[in-house]
A = this chain, B = another copy of it.
Amino acid sequence: MVAVATTTIARAADPLPSWNHGSARQSIITFVERVTKESSPDFVPVADRIAVFDNDGTLWSEQPMYVQLAFVLDRVRQLAPQHPEWKEKEPFKSVLAGDLKAIAAAGETGLMELLAATHGGMTAEQFDKIVIDWIAAARHPKYARPYTQCVYRPMVELIAFLKANGFKVYIVSGGGVEFMRPWTAAVYGVPPEQVIGSSIKTRYEVGADGRPVIVRLPEIDFIDDKAGKPVAIHKVIGKRPIAAFGNSDGDFEMLEYVTSGPGLRLGVLVHHDDAEREVAYDRKSHIGRLERGLDEAARRSWTLISMKADWKSVFPSPTPDQ
């Protein structure tokens, strides 16, 4: 009992208990202090304290494949009995054979066909339920736990720390917005209306029963990646955030846009350098490639988080890494 109480007190004192003391942690804390202290020349009113976070590889694991791709593959397998033609038709044939290389070779056209078949053709409410059921049942292939337990504990603490300091936190992800919204409030403390992502087109329809629904069409509306991220931030939020967190070159423009506004700004990149507790990858990776960001971080005064050095733990406990 004494040990538990002491831990609780220590945690209350340290808002970032899963972070090692070092320059990354320090640069984040200093930034928050400077923009929140009213007497500070860098003070920012609450209304303008907006922070944006990428999701895949920044808030949760994106290896060995994007979680949404795992969802797509599971959906194809699940729907296959209703589509006997898929047995002979690419890219479905390769999905059913579990041939990841052939799926990758099918390229963007193949991916679009998979997205259309698995993400379109139902109402928004039906898709919500499909995501909720899948995310509850699916397990990460390496960590053998729900994907929502493969989120980065230090980043979840960071979101809570920013919120406690008056920040409004948005997720700005290349992933599908409706693939994230059903669970981000419970897992990250970020409500659906603060999630921005890629989207497919939708149509408003009143059914034969008189009930209006949002129907998901098998057609891409917007890809929220690279230069699309600042465009989406401007479209949805309508002001320039003061802090941005990412992990790959898909976040470069978002960090560039955020950190070149007037006043104090914070740009942060999560560097996956921890082969032991997670996966080490950067310049050569097909998933979450980080090259330009690494080259320019110093010149742009962006903070690099070394997962290996800066994080005491990676996943929530009980965790495979502790």
Contacts and interface: CB of A to CB of B under 8 A. Distances in A.
A234 B260 contact: no
A235 B236 CA distance: 10
A214 interface: yes
A138 to B, nearest CB: 22
B237 A193 contact: yes
A266 interface: no
Interface in A172-228: 177-178, 181, 185, 191-193, 195, 199, 202-204, 206, 210-212, 214, 227-228
Interface residues of A, number: 35
B238 A236 contact: no
Nearest to A212: B257
21 contacts: A47-B191, A50-B193, A177-B235, A177-B238, A192-B237, A192-B238, A192-B239, A193-B237, A195-B238, A202-B235, A203-B227, A204-B227, A204-B228, A204-B230, A204-B257, A206-B256, A212-B257, A212-B260, A214-B230, A214-B234, A236-B236
Interface of A: 47, 50, 124, 168, 177-178, 181, 185, 191-193, 195, 199, 202-204, 206, 210-212, 214, 227-228, 230-231, 234-239, 253, 256-257, 260
